[in-house]
Amino acid sequence: MEFAGSPAQPLPFVLVLSAVFSATLDCSRIRAITLDLDDTLWPIWPTIARAESVLQAWLAEHAPATHALYAVPGALRALRERMNHLRPDLVHDLSALRRESIRLALTQAGDSPALAEPAFDVFFAERQRVDLFEDAVPALEYLSSRWPVVALSNGNADVHRVGLGRYFHAAVSAREAGAAKPDARIFHTAARAAGVDAAQVLHIGDDAHLDGVGALRAGMQTVWLNREGTAWPHDDHAPHATVASLHELHRLLA
């Protein structure tokens, strides 16, 4: 059910959900935290758009034929999405998929495919430049002071290159786990990285299906970060708690 009302109204709705679901959250069980990255600590699509823009500028200088062939906005991203079907063996490795999509673009345009490596390096470096949500660092400081925190992401952000490595006990990506959220295997890999059982982990993330349902099926407790104030979309699963911002974690977990 969609919540009807003015833009100012969803926040109280989310807080009501928090009160309902937080009653089932057992803080005494928590021995470790797993934390999503993209769209939890920073917005991802502005970051990707900027990285693609930097890549296009690099191609204009070093591979002008490729730049011209893929000059239409969104063309390189569409090729990257197509690579999911062309290389299903790389489905859990976003860096490899991006690198191979660049290689294919270069080949199609008649430029040297060997340029794929330096071109990807330019893209990847910019992808690590993120604009944190204002509640990210305070939440990380609080969580890491109480529990080991493991970054858990389907993406290819590097918490050390992003500048947040000091807050994390470990980091697990889909590439390293050989499975992507919502597959239980990536959650269990993260629990092992923290040195605890899945039942002792609290997972926090923004995606209701990938983070919420995935963690629940893996046997973890979960907090859904619902910045937009939307309704929980699943009838057969419910998060243990819902928060509108990471600032609420201190109150919820105290």
Above pLDDT 70, what percent of the chain? 91
Same domain (yes/no): 197, 76? no
Q: Which tens digits make up the pLDDT trace of 175-207?
A: 999 999 999 999 999 999 999 999 999 999 999
Q: Which tens digits make up the pLDDT trace of 38-78?
A: 999 999 999 999 999 999 999 999 999 999 999 998 999 99
d(CA 230, CA 13): 9
pLDDT at 14: 38
Same domain (yes/no): 235, 176? yes
Same domain (yes/no): 50, 104? yes
pLDDT above 80 (res 1): no
pLDDT above 50 (res 17): no
pLDDT at 12: 37
Among the residue ranges 19-23, 94-98, 122-126, the one predicted with the least confidence is 19-23
Does the residue 72 lie in any domain?
A: yes
Q: Which domain holds residue 244?
A: 10-42+132-253
pLDDT at 20: 35
DSSP 8-state code for residue 232: P
Pick from 230, 232, 234: which is nearest to 217 by CA?
A: 234
For the chain, the domain total comes to 2
For the chain, the average pLDDT equals: 91
Q: Which tens digits make up the pLDDT trace of 119-143?
A: 999 999 999 999 999 999 999 999 9
pLDDT at 98: 97
pTM: 0.88
Same domain (yes/no): 158, 52? no
CATH number at 99 reads: 1.20.120.1600
Same domain (yes/no): 231, 112? no
Same domain (yes/no): 176, 50? no
**Residue 4 token pair:** 């009807």
CATH number at 245 reads: 3.40.50.1000
Per-residue pLDDT band for 90 (boundaries 50, 70, 90) equals very high
pLDDT above 50 (res 79): yes
Pick from 227, 244, 214: which is nearest to 34 by CA?
A: 214
For every residue of 34-45, DSSP letters joined together read: EE--BTTTB-HH
Q: Domain end: 127, 154, 179, which one?
A: 127
pLDDT above 70 (res 16): no
Per-residue pLDDT band for 22 (boundaries 50, 70, 90) equals very low
For every residue of 5-68, DSSP letters joined together read: S-TTSHHHHHHHHHHHHHTT--GGG-SEEEE--BTTTB-HHHHHHHHHHHHHHHHHHH-HHHHH
d(CA 84, CA 81): 6
Residues 6+ apart with CB under 8 A from 143: 33, 35, 149, 167, 249
pLDDT at 19: 34
Same domain (yes/no): 142, 100? no
pLDDT at 99: 98
Same domain (yes/no): 38, 48? no
Per-residue pLDDT band for 8 (boundaries 50, 70, 90) equals very low
Q: Domain end: 107, 127, 147, which one?
A: 127
Same domain (yes/no): 200, 85? no
Does the residue 139 lie in any domain?
A: yes
Does the residue 5 lie in any domain?
A: no
Pick from 38, 39, 34, 33: which is nearest to 157 by CA?
A: 38
Does the residue 88 lie in any domain?
A: yes
Same domain (yes/no): 52, 175? no
Same domain (yes/no): 247, 194? yes
Same domain (yes/no): 114, 88? yes
